[in-house]
Amino acid sequence: MTPLAVDVAILLPATARSVLEQLNAGCVPTPGGFRFDTTHHPHITLGQHFVDADAVDAVRADLTPLLSRHVPLEIAITGGRRGRTAHVAVVAPTPDLQRLHEQVVGVLADHEVPGTAEAFQSDDSPARDADVRWVSRFRLDSSFGHFDPHITIGIGPGPVTVPPPWRFTATEVGLCRLGRFCTCRDPLTRWTL
């Protein structure tokens, strides 16, 4: 068994992505930080898990009925905050977003396997122990009543000013590899809502 660290994530439309790329560019880079580019995608995580690489087709098959019938989601960014290591844009929780998160986590629970740093996409800096712990415990510590929808802007010191509240319509979800800082990396599959 070869585990992969994956993120089922809402991928942003071009206009929202552009705003987040500009905010990311304003973060003071730190060693091992990241810049949004063609392989680092701003996103809203629905579920992060370790799955067996040989089971990716089964994961895709189990998610497709859920995601292919889901309607687009209205997303509201309400501000920003600084966590322990990251700057984030706060996403207003909604019943539709919460329900989709819970359904995704429910589907992926059946596919979870133990994982290590080697499960992450590591064409740049390797995953940290904190990344492995986060993904290992996502379903238990960051799901259901603990779900905190947000978009990670970047890593580093200093303030990042998120524009006044704004909205966009999310129409795409991806099953993506995870990288250092649990960044959303290369999509393995995409669905249109």
Work out the number of other CB atoms within 10 angstroms of the CB of residue 33: 18
Query: For residue 7, which of 142, 155, 128 has the smallest C-alpha distance?
Result: 142
pLDDT per residue over 88-141, tens digit each?
Answer: 999 999 999 999 999 999 999 999 999 999 999 988 788 999 999 999 999 999
Report residues of the chain scoring pLDDT below 70.
Answer: 32
pTM: 0.95
Query: For residue 34, which of 162, 123, 117 has the smallest C-alpha distance?
Result: 123
| Predicted local confidence at residue 33, as pLDDT | 80
* Domain CATH for 117: 3.90.1140.10
How would DSSP label each residue in 149-184? -EEEEEESSS---PPSSEEEEE-EEEEEEE-GGG-E
Within 8 A by CB and 6+ apart from 38, the residues are none
| Predicted local confidence at residue 143, as pLDDT | 98
If one counts the domains in the chain, the total is 1
Q: Which helix (H) or strand (E) covers residue 106, if one does? A: helix 95-109
Residue-range definition of the domain harbouring residue 92: 3-192
